[in-house]
Homo-oligomer: A and B are copies of this chain.
Amino acid sequence: SDYGKDLFTFTLPPPSTLPEQVLDVDNATPDSHVPRDARLIRLTGVHPFNVEPPLTALFKEGFLTSPELFYVRNHGAVPHVQDENVPNWEFSIEGMVANPIRITLKQLLSDYENVTCPITLVCAGNRRKEQNMIRKSKGFSWGPAGVSTALFTGVIMADVIRRAMPLRKARYVCMEGADKLPNGYYGTSVKLNWVMDPNRGIMLAHKMNGEPLMPDHGKPLRAVIPGQIGGRSVKWLKKLILTAEPSDNWYHIYDNRVLPTMVDPDESSRNPAWWKDDRYAIYDLSPNAATAQPAHDEQLVLADAPTMYMTRGYAYSGGGRRITRVEVSMDQGKTWRLANIEYAEDQYRKYEDKQLFGGRLDMDWRETSFCWCFWNLEISVAELREAKDVVVRAMDESMNIMPKEMYWSVLGMMNNPWFRIAIHKENGVLRFEHPTQPALMPGGWMDRVKKAGGNLSNGQWGERVEGQEMETV
Chain A contact residues, CB within 8 Å of chain B: 171, 191, 193, 197, 199, 258, 260-262, 279-280, 282-284, 286-287, 318-319, 322, 324-325, 327, 333-338, 367, 395, 397-401, 403-405, 407, 414, 457, 459, 467-469
Instruction: Indicate which residue in B197, B367, B397, B400 contacts A279 across the interface (CB closer than 8 Å).
Output: B397
Q: Are B404 and A405 in contact (CB under 8 A)?
A: yes
Q: Report chain B residues within 8 Å CB of A286.
A: 398-400
Complex Cα spacing A400 to B457, Å? 21
Q: Report chain B residues within 8 Å CB of A397.
A: 279, 283-284
Instruction: Indicate which residue in B260, B325, B405 contacts A325 across the interface (CB closer than 8 Å).
Output: B260
Q: Are B367 and A191 in contact (CB under 8 A)?
A: yes
Q: Report chain B residues within 8 Å CB of A469.
A: 467
Assuming the contacts A467-B468, A469-B467, asked whether A324 and B404 have C-beta atoms less than 8 A apart, the reply is: no
Assuming the contacts A457-B334, A467-B469, asked whether A399 and B258 have C-beta atoms less than 8 A apart, the reply is: yes
Task: Give the number of copies in the complex.
Answer: 2
6 examples of A-B residue contacts, CB within 8 angstroms: A191-B367, A193-B199, A262-B336, A279-B322, A280-B324, A334-B457
Interchain nearest-CB distance for A173 vs B (Å): 13
Given A262-B335, A283-B398, A401-B407, 5 other A-B residues pairs in contact with their CB atoms under 8 A: A261-B336, A262-B336, A262-B337, A279-B325, A398-B400
Interchain nearest-CB distance for A24 vs B (Å): 40
Q: Report chain B residues within 8 Å CB of A260.
A: 325, 327, 336, 338
Q: Are B318 and A398 in contact (CB under 8 A)?
A: yes
Complex Cα spacing A400 to B395, Å? 11
Q: Are A367 and B171 in contact (CB under 8 A)?
A: yes
Chain A interface, >50% SS class:
loop
Q: Report chain B residues within 8 Å CB of A395.
A: 407
Interchain nearest-CB distance for A256 vs B (Å): 11
Q: Report chain B residues within 8 Å CB of A191.
A: 367
Complex Cα spacing A337 to B197, Å? 37
Q: Report chain B residues within 8 Å CB of A261.
A: 327, 336
Complex Cα spacing A399 to B400, Å? 10
Closest 9 A/B residue pairs (Cβ): A279-B324, A403-B403, A284-B398, A400-B400, A286-B399, A399-B414, A260-B338, A404-B405, A260-B325
Q: Are A262 and B338 in contact (CB under 8 A)?
A: yes
Assuming the contacts A262-B335, A324-B279, A324-B280, asked whether A404 and B401 have C-beta atoms less than 8 A apart, the reply is: no
Interchain nearest-CB distance for A30 vs B (Å): 34
Complex Cα spacing A262 to B330, Å? 13
Interchain nearest-CB distance for A398 vs B (Å): 4
Return the chain B residue nearest A368 by Cβ.
Answer: B193
Interchain nearest-CB distance for A402 vs B (Å): 8
Return the chain B residue nearest A405 by Cβ.
Answer: B404
Q: Report chain B residues within 8 Å CB of A459.
A: 459
Complex Cα spacing A186 to B431, Å? 54
Complex Cα spacing A287 to B258, Å? 17
Q: Are A399 and B367 in contact (CB under 8 A)?
A: no
Complex Cα spacing A258 to B397, Å? 10
Q: Are B404 and A193 in contact (CB under 8 A)?
A: no
